[in-house]
Structure 1
């Protein structure tokens, strides 16, 4: 013991014991500059007018029945309906993936998660290709001799698109909880005479309900702060609070935009605090528990229950194909057809726009190049920052929950609010020492993308770090390695798959980020592929789906490349 204390003292004297505090300071500085200062700038606009603290803009919104009743009320209403639909679609997937072992399970799990990483504006394009006036649904109805339908814009389209996007999240959260159900408690209930259904009702469901509620809470947060989908599929008739914030910003009504942002952020942060509390409790309660084994889908002997289970799995696979894959397939189909006839006119239009379009028009090649450059720059910022925060949030120290909450705040503050803050705080400039410091729009876009991506890096790096055998680290420390050296040489190599997964998420999120980008790229040449897709939607379906197909291909390729590079390093 005395030897260890002496070693710690020597380490601190040599400066090596301050590696983690220094890491925390650097991470805090980056978060402060890229996130907290810009968001604070937005909130100041809600309570300060001409340099005086008045609360005027905020009070004006809070006392306006239109904003509190119509805007906030409708936003919450569609978020509740979207959440219910997402839970209904997500729970069967959690049951299938958590309880059964079968060939193709990993593939089905991967396909189920595809919508979660698809850019939101791409979802909008896919739904236009499916449910629009000239979409595949109406084409199929016409071929069958049935009357066509007009589903866009509509609340139903918004709800289904939100479910497409968030049902996989419910599946992932609930499946993880289902796989962690205490098998001993179930066996005890059965030994005391409980039937299988009674054991599920009295033992399994109580353990799953917190996960269901938290999955629903996360879904509500994401659909409450959704922007691209209501903007594209709802129009002005079904505008949410995010759309009104964007509209107020375009009309230069920054006080009103900031006040609406305060309302939205307050709701989102409250629900995210509940989710983080659940996560901490779950990590403590489930550690060391024996979990339920998955059953084979094709057993040695058949019973009515097992036949029903197999039919249920087949039905879920059909739902996955219909709900999650059909819209994307419709988008691909629409990009190469016109009235059922194969053609590449949409892609030729993009090429013509590139060579002959006016200077103010969106061109495809700059959009692709900008997206790739922003993705690489985002990776350079978000991956180290997310890894550092993953390390910090898995260390045991007083107040760790506060660090975790502060680090995850970017997950619930919408991209519109972050983009507005970066515009007001960094792009417009900050006066200090008699000089006005400003940053270019492209730099601000990278900052917004890094803020959006880094929480996902934290969430992929932190769990394997938390499960790491601490004896390995202690052995390295006993052999003379400093904390920093043990982190670099022992911990990070063992959790490298999580780092690679975080890199893939960061790059894909940057490629598909739309909310902040559409604010920061407006009027400049820093537009990206999602912005290009949105500019085409509603004007010409063919070019929108063609640009969406290019965006989908680049996003998929980024996952493949990063996974291959990660595999080489892991080997």
Structure 2
């Protein structure tokens, strides 16, 4: 064959092979592109389905297994337990007498003569109302200080305003005992000035003050954001039209700030209505709320009555939560395009009465705030390094000795810290993506969005005891599916309980930020061919990233400090955490409990503040 012909043939074959490879690569590229497009288009619905499945498996199913005990008695369906609870004055006071058919006149006479009974449910609502009032009275002045004044350390104070809310309840209880107990710092200070000791534990006052310690910073955080969103131009316009400063505040500022105060109060009432560790530690069974009495019934193995009472509590809590979400949706105000009011220096530029009076009031508030917010933590710190003979490190030495020489059945600090951190990280890995997905679902415009939000936020309203018991009796003990028995280990159940408790807070932080975004940004991305998931990843999440990181801080800190469900699930196992260790120590000596409380405080505070700093200043609930 001629060389030129052979070369031509070889070149032709090579060209055809190249074209074939090119066509093959092109086909593979198109296939990969279609697969990627399909994956992006289906990923968000798939994540939504996965989130719902996780919620059903680790929350709704376990909780439902507990509630079955309330209606299935000796193999028969009955509502007898509910009827007994609703008509028992021990639970519902005078309302129970009405439901039992008593004369309304007799009930009214009991109320007018002061002989009316509140019942367990009535007392729970009463202490929640008192706690809400105290939280608002303490939180609103702090919001005013942060929103209207500039001073050194303002950003740091703003950053730590939410820290008490994520501090473990058992640690706060130890701090209150160290402050207001018979041998606490308050009585020590009174003795220095010749005053007699006061006995505040157990008491309703201690419960209300402890609830204010938790929730006043929450009210302040929500109200501060609203106060900073007041348009200075509107205030200046009112003043230019002749309005006095008081009138401008009443007609312009108050209508914009009041909804946030009411939202903070409503959220506080929801939280304090379902309180458990604080009431149990500072009030005992003498001042039992619904949650504490559920714990007592379950501890006494009275599952039917405990489950029925828990279901009644759940109905009340869900109704409160639904009302709060409706009110929040109706009063959310867009903050874009406003000019916030300038902050005034905290040090008065003049000595006029007008300049001094607000600052004198803030100084008095600072004294009260130091006593209520700083004293419990400071007292715990002091108690951890003090003893009968003065300052000592004996309590920390006890922790070290327990770690190195403690018996296998004893609680040791090292495993407690390790378990808390591992459970926190694992719970965060579940709670954060669930919270983001639920935030997306609850910020889309469709009918029934509030109802979906209420169902998704139900873990806020359900007793941690019920969640822990449901996981124990369901997933830990095992579920029979045909010939198989499916069961999970104690650590997985604890992680599930922590994730369920943490993800609603991710939703409460991320959802408002997503809802406030300009919808045209997402629509533009979709018009350019981006899928819904791609628009979320490339446009929305980068814009709300500080809120996502702040939600992660909440989820992690709440997991590290979770006590209620963990107390149920860790019983009889070695999977104890730092809060459980504190509870075990406090039953013996207060000193080691305060030392362990300091360790927990350091771990919780450092982790939360680090993540919160990464997330920036956009944290709310």
TM-score, normalised by the number of residues in structure 2? 0.84
Structure 2 unmatched ranges of 5 or more:
1-33, 94-118, 617-621
Comparing 481-490 with 364-373, greater Cα deviation is found at 481-490
For the residues of structure 1 that align with 2:529 and 2:338, how far apart are their CA atoms?
36
Measured against aligned partners, the alpha-carbon deviations of 1:187-220 in whole angstroms (never above 9, x if no partner) come to 4544443322123234433443333222222111
Which of 372, 379, 384 pairs up with 2:428? 379
Establish whether residue 157 from structure 1 lines up as the match of residue 206 from structure 2. Answer: yes
Q: Does the CA-based 8 Å contact 1:11-1:17 persist in structure 2?
A: no
Q: Does the CA-based 8 Å contact 2:232-2:340 persist in structure 1?
A: yes
Which of 268, 276, 294 pairs up with 2:342? 294
For the residues of structure 2 that align with 1:546 and 1:333, how far apart are their CA atoms?
10
Q: 1:318-397, aligned counterparts within 5 Å?
A: 318-339=367-388, 341-397=390-446
Q: Does the CA-based 8 Å contact 2:125-2:273 persist in structure 1?
A: yes
Structure 1 unmatched ranges of 5 or more:
1-9
Q: Once superposed, which parts of structure 1, at least 4 consecutive aligned residues long, lie more than 6 Å away?
A: 10-13, 564-567
Q: 1:44-83, aligned counterparts within 5 Å?
A: 44-69=68-93, 70-83=119-132
For the residues of structure 2 that align with 1:151 and 1:320, how far apart are their CA atoms?
18
Shift in CA distance, 305/11, structure 1 to aligned 2, threshold 3 Å:
farther
- Give the deviation of 1:343 after TM superposition: 0.6
Measured against aligned partners, the alpha-carbon deviations of 1:144-203 in whole angstroms (never above 9, x if no partner) come to 333222221122111111111111111122223333345565445444433221232344
Tell me which residue corresponds to 1:3.
none
Tell me which residue corresponds to 2:547.
498
For the residues of structure 2 that align with 1:88 and 1:340, how far apart are their CA atoms?
40
Q: 1:263-282, aligned counterparts within 5 Å?
A: 263-282=312-331
> What SS does the aligned partner of 2:485 have?
strand
Establish whether residue 26 from structure 1 lines up as the match of residue 59 from structure 2. Answer: no
Which of 355, 370, 384 pairs up with 1:306? 355
For the residues of structure 2 that align with 1:234 and 1:159, how far apart are their CA atoms?
10
Comparing 91-100 with 140-149, greater Cα deviation is found at 140-149
Q: 1:172-571, aligned counterparts within 5 Å?
A: 172-181=221-230, 183=232, 186-283=235-332, 285-286=333-334, 288=336, 290=338, 292-297=340-345, 298=347, 303-339=352-388, 341-562=390-611
Q: Does the CA-based 8 Å contact 1:461-1:502 persist in structure 2?
A: yes
For the residues of structure 1 that align with 2:247 and 2:294, how far apart are their CA atoms?
49
For the residues of structure 1 that align with 2:181 and 2:587, how far apart are their CA atoms?
10
> What SS does the aligned partner of 2:341 have?
coil
Q: Does the CA-based 8 Å contact 2:213-2:373 persist in structure 1?
A: yes
Q: Does the CA-based 8 Å contact 1:375-1:507 persist in structure 2?
A: yes
For the residues of structure 1 that align with 2:39 and 2:193, how far apart are their CA atoms?
76
Q: Does the CA-based 8 Å contact 2:322-2:451 persist in structure 1?
A: no
- Give the deviation of 1:447 after TM superposition: 0.7
Q: Does the CA-based 8 Å contact 1:86-1:167 persist in structure 2?
A: yes
Shift in CA distance, 259/322, structure 1 to aligned 2, threshold 3 Å:
same
For the residues of structure 2 that align with 1:408 and 1:102, how far apart are their CA atoms?
38
Q: Does the CA-based 8 Å contact 2:547-2:615 persist in structure 1?
A: no
> What SS does the aligned partner of 1:526 have?
coil
For the residues of structure 2 that align with 1:407 and 1:75, how far apart are their CA atoms?
25
> What SS does the aligned partner of 1:149 have?
coil
Q: Does the CA-based 8 Å contact 1:121-1:533 persist in structure 2?
A: yes
Measured against aligned partners, the alpha-carbon deviations of 1:215-269 in whole angstroms (never above 9, x if no partner) come to 2221111111111111111122112211111111111111111111112112211
Larger radius of gyration: 2
Tell me which residue corresponds to 1:129.
178
> What SS does the aligned partner of 2:162 have?
helix
Shift in CA distance, 196/521, structure 1 to aligned 2, threshold 3 Å:
same
Aligned CA-pair RMSD: 2.5
Comparing 185-194 with 245-254, greater Cα deviation is found at 185-194
Shift in CA distance, 215/531, structure 1 to aligned 2, threshold 3 Å:
same
For the residues of structure 2 that align with 1:289 and 1:419, how far apart are their CA atoms?
46
For the residues of structure 2 that align with 1:72 and 1:291, how far apart are their CA atoms?
46
TM-score, normalised by the number of residues in structure 1? 0.91
For the residues of structure 1 that align with 2:37 and 2:342, how far apart are their CA atoms?
52
Q: Does the CA-based 8 Å contact 2:546-2:614 persist in structure 1?
A: no
Q: Does the CA-based 8 Å contact 2:322-2:450 persist in structure 1?
A: no
Measured against aligned partners, the alpha-carbon deviations of 1:410-459 in whole angstroms (never above 9, x if no partner) come to 12223122212222322232222133322222111111100111111122
Measured against aligned partners, the alpha-carbon deviations of 1:518-541 in whole angstroms (never above 9, x if no partner) come to 111112211111111122225311
Q: Does the CA-based 8 Å contact 1:61-1:260 persist in structure 2?
A: yes
- Give the deviation of 1:508 after TM superposition: 0.5
Which of 38, 56, 59 pairs up with 2:62? 38
Comparing 70-79 with 13-22, greater Cα deviation is found at 13-22
Q: Does the CA-based 8 Å contact 1:180-1:289 persist in structure 2?
A: no
Shift in CA distance, 354/68, structure 1 to aligned 2, threshold 3 Å:
farther
For the residues of structure 2 that align with 1:314 and 1:388, how far apart are their CA atoms?
44
Shift in CA distance, 146/431, structure 1 to aligned 2, threshold 3 Å:
same
- Give the deviation of 1:560 after TM superposition: 4.7
For the residues of structure 1 that align with 2:38 and 2:592, how far apart are their CA atoms?
61
For the residues of structure 1 that align with 2:169 and 2:443, how far apart are their CA atoms?
31
Q: Does the CA-based 8 Å contact 1:112-1:324 persist in structure 2?
A: no
Shift in CA distance, 564/178, structure 1 to aligned 2, threshold 3 Å:
closer
Q: Does the CA-based 8 Å contact 1:331-1:549 persist in structure 2?
A: yes
Q: 1:71-110, aligned counterparts within 5 Å?
A: 71-110=120-159
> What SS does the aligned partner of 1:141 have?
helix
Comparing 204-213 with 381-390, greater Cα deviation is found at 204-213
- Give the deviation of 1:381 after TM superposition: 0.7
